[in-house]
Amino acid sequence: MSSAPILNEPAGEAQHAIVTSARAPLHARIAFVVETARRLHQYGTAAPRLESAVDKLAGRLGLCAQVWSSPTAIIISFAEVGDHRRVAETTQVIRLSPGDIDLRHLVEVNEIADKVIAGELDIGQGSHLLQTLSDRIGRRARAREVLCFGLVSATLAVLMRGAWSDVVAAGCIGLIVGTLADVAARSQRMRLALEALSALIATVLATQISLYITPLTLKVTVLASLIVLFPGMMLTTAVRELSTRHLVSGVARFADAVQTLIKLAFGTLVANELCKLLGLVPPAEVAAKYPHELSGGQRQRVAIARALAVEPKVVLADEPTSMLDVSIRIGILNLMLKLKEERDIAFLYVTHDLASARYIADDILVMYAGQIVESGPVEDVLADPLHPYTRLLLAAVPDPTRGAERIEIRKGQASAAVDPPEGCRFVERCPLAVDVCSRVTPPLVDARRSQAARCHVTAPSPSLPTL
């Protein structure tokens, strides 16, 4: 970067040019110095360097300048060299937005200043060139900048030992981030939201690619695609300013860098939560977690995935949703239904929850004390149950519309499941029990076209006429 001539003492024939520039009107020299300071600030010059450069430039133009710079303002007081009153002729206060490091423009500003000092340009021409600097960025240059975003992102993914898919994804997302940065360069609103929006889009895109196209190492891909927005140079400048005791500038710039990091983190967190809310969590993310880091729904999905690994024809699912809240429960049930349809898998679903049984099952077997007491199509059985135990189960389901119409259970002992005595196992608790129930074990009888029950009263056996 050819910035040295502004900072170094001129020598030789340049002395003549200095004298020439110093003869220009006071207001023109001040305007040139102010515009130079503004440009140096805009293109990311650190406060100590800016103050030194402006001081020396003013001196070569026959001015005595007192300069104070911060990331959001420059204050310069001017007086003519040789004015022994030491009273400022004028003071300029310039409010500015914090500048970004732009080495190309810094070189151009220095070249213009050098030419004015050397007499190759008069001060008016120099001021005009400075004012038109930002207008000289063409479409090709902008396209190259966007391309550089993609290349830098892809390169970083390589350096982070990402897979080829990470490299390609980081490069593509980097191009999108570069396009956003290009838009932000011309829009104040977009500039404020650039980091958060870029982080959000990068995270969502990486997650989508990982879910639907090819698995990615999300941390590598997202970090690589956002690396260009990290305020590394800003932090370096802040440290330099703090170390030279330009405390206001250093602290302000450091705070600006931290704000940028917070915006990036915020965008990433929002995108992650959004994806989790929508159930868009890439398998690689889940696979890297310990069981205690998974939600209840994720654990059940892992259990189902483990069962599916052996490509079963039948899966015994024993209370798979009992520990889940309702919203997650429906997700697991839908997953089982989907697997049933797509993979032709039969689920033997064990539950106490008749509502979920009705939602997922085609046929139902109601069991009591190790015995099937009723069977049939789930809708038929639950709509018009035969066995007293099934009726009690349904009666136990809270239903505010049903009022006081309930079957009362008797307070008897539960039947022993091992070596039970002869007779119906439900007799101690059955509200419909008759004498024979405790002497003869009821068989499972096809009482209706597709519905069977084990009960002497509601499904009597034709083979036991004496009962």
Q: Which residues bind ligand SF4 (CB under 6 A)?
A: 387-388, 424, 426-427, 430, 432-433, 437, 442, 455-457
Least distance between ligand SF4 and beta carbon 391 (Å): 10
Task: Decide: 408 and 385 in contact? Cβ < 8 Å.
Answer: no
Q: How far is CA 413 from CA 48, 121, 390, in A?
A: 90, 108, 18
Tell which residue, 20, 86, 28, 29, has the closest CA to residue 58.
29
Distance CA 261, CA 256 (A): 9
Cβ count within 10 A of residue 112 = 23
Least distance between ligand SF4 and beta carbon 439 (Å): 10
Is residue 137 within a helix (H) or strand (E), and if so which, with residue range?
Answer: none
Task: Decide: 98 and 72 in contact? Cβ < 8 Å.
Answer: yes
Q: How far apart are the first and last CA of the chain?
A: 109
Which pair of tokens denotes residue 54? 């402006």
Angle at alpha carbon of residue 388, lines to 387 and 389, rounded to 5°:
90
What are the backbone dihedrals phi and psi of residue 311, each rounded to the nearest 5 degrees, phi first? Answer: 50, 60
Q: Which is nearer to ligand SF4, 30 or 447 (CB)?
A: 447
Distance CA 236, CA 242 (A): 10
Least distance between ligand SF4 and beta carbon 431 (Å): 8
Angle at alpha carbon of residue 170, lines to 168 and 176, rounded to 5°:
110
Question: What is the per-residue DSSP string for 304-350?
Answer: HHHHHTT--SEEEEESTTTTS-HHHHHHHHHHHHHHHHHH--EEEEE
Q: Token match 């500015």: residue? A: 96
Q: Which is nearer to ligand SF4, 179 or 441 (CB)?
A: 441
Cβ count within 10 A of residue 99 = 22
Q: Which is nearer to ligand SF4, 254 or 426 (CB)?
A: 426
Q: Which is nearer to ligand SF4, 274 or 409 (CB)?
A: 409
Least distance between ligand SF4 and beta carbon 348 (Å): 24
Least distance between ligand SF4 and beta carbon 395 (Å): 14
Least distance between ligand SF4 and beta carbon 303 (Å): 35
Q: Which is nearer to ligand SF4, 25 or 370 (CB)?
A: 370
Q: Which is nearer to ligand SF4, 312 or 421 (CB)?
A: 421
Q: Which is nearer to ligand SF4, 403 or 462 (CB)?
A: 462
Q: Which is nearer to ligand SF4, 116 or 437 (CB)?
A: 437
Least distance between ligand SF4 and beta carbon 447 (Å): 11
Least distance between ligand SF4 and beta carbon 354 (Å): 18
Residue 169 backbone zone (phi > 0: left; psi -120 to 50: alpha; other: beta):
alpha
